[in-house]
Amino acid sequence: MLELFAWSLVAILLVVWLGIVAFGPPYVPTLSKDLEEVIKTLKIGAKDHVVDLGCGDGKILLACAKRGARVSGVELNPFLVWISRYRTRLFKDRVDVSLGDMWRYKLPEETSHVFVFFAEKFMPKLKEYVAHQKSQGRHFRLVSYGFSLPGEIPSEKSGAFNIYNF
C-alpha cells in the first residue's frame, strides 16, 4: 500500500512538473554580469525591499539579500521555489519566497524595486499589473530585463535592464 502511495505521489509530481514546463513561462536565468551592474546602478542596500516576480532560481533575491535588502519572490514552479529557498537559506531573516501566481501577488507596502524578466508577449499584461499597483498607492522602480514596457520610456538603463519609476 505504501509503495502504491509513493508511486502515485511521483506520478502527480511528474504531471505537475510537465504541466508547468509545457504551459508555464520558460525559465531563463539573468546573466551575473548584468545583475551586478544593475544592482550597483540602483544602489540596492539595507533601506530597500526588492520583489522579484517570477524569481526562478533566486539569483536576484540572493544578490540583493547579500547587500542587506529585504527581498520577496514569487514563482509558479514549485521546483524553482525550492531552489530559491535553498539558495537564500542563509538570509532567512530577510527573504520570503512564495509559490504562486505573480499576477495575483500584492506588492508589500515597503516595496522599493520590482524585478521582472518576462517575454515580450507578457509586457502589456505587466503594464496592467503596474497600473493596478499604482492605483493601490504603491511607488516603486520597475526593473525589466531585456524587454520594454509598452508606451513607457525608461527613466534609466543599465546594460540589458530598463528601469522605470512608478
- Set out the domains of the chain in order of their start, with CATH numbers: 30-165 (3.40.50.150)
Task: Output the pLDDT for position 22.
Answer: 52
Reported as a pLDDT band with limits 50, 70 and 90, residue 15 is low
What pLDDT digit, counting tens, does each position of 57-84 carry?
A: 999 999 999 999 999 999 999 999 999 9
**Residue in this structure with the C-alpha cell 514569487, named with its chain if needed:** 74
Task: Output the pLDDT for position 19.
Answer: 56
CA distance 124 to 22: 22
Nearest to 88 by CA among 64, 122, 62: 62
- Single-letter residue type at 114: V
Q: Using an 8 Å Cβ cutoff, are 125 and 103 in contact?
A: yes
Task: Output the pLDDT for position 165.
Answer: 97
Q: Output phi, psi for 61, to 5 deg.
A: -60, -45
Q: 29 burial class (0-12, 13-18, 19+ CB within 10 angstroms)?
A: exposed
3-state helix, strand, coil in the chain (%, to 5): 45, 20, 35
Task: Output the pLDDT for position 155.
Answer: 98
Reported as a pLDDT band with limits 50, 70 and 90, residue 13 is low
What pLDDT digit, counting tens, does each position of 28-38 carry?
A: 789 999 999 99
Beta strand pairing call for 113-116 and 49-53: parallel
- Residues 151-155: what's their mean pLDDT? 97
Task: Output the pLDDT for position 14.
Answer: 62
- Residues 92-96: what's their mean pLDDT? 97
Task: Output the pLDDT for position 98.
Answer: 98
Write the DSSP symbol of residue 136: T
Residue 162's contacts (CB-CB under 8 Å, 6 or more residues apart) are 143, 144, 147, 148, 149, 154
Residue 97 β-bridge partners: 73
Q: What angle do CA 61, 63, 64 make, to 5 degrees?
A: 65
Residue 74 β-bridge partners: 53, 98
pTM here? 0.85
Q: For all residues of the chain together, what is the average pLDDT?
A: 91
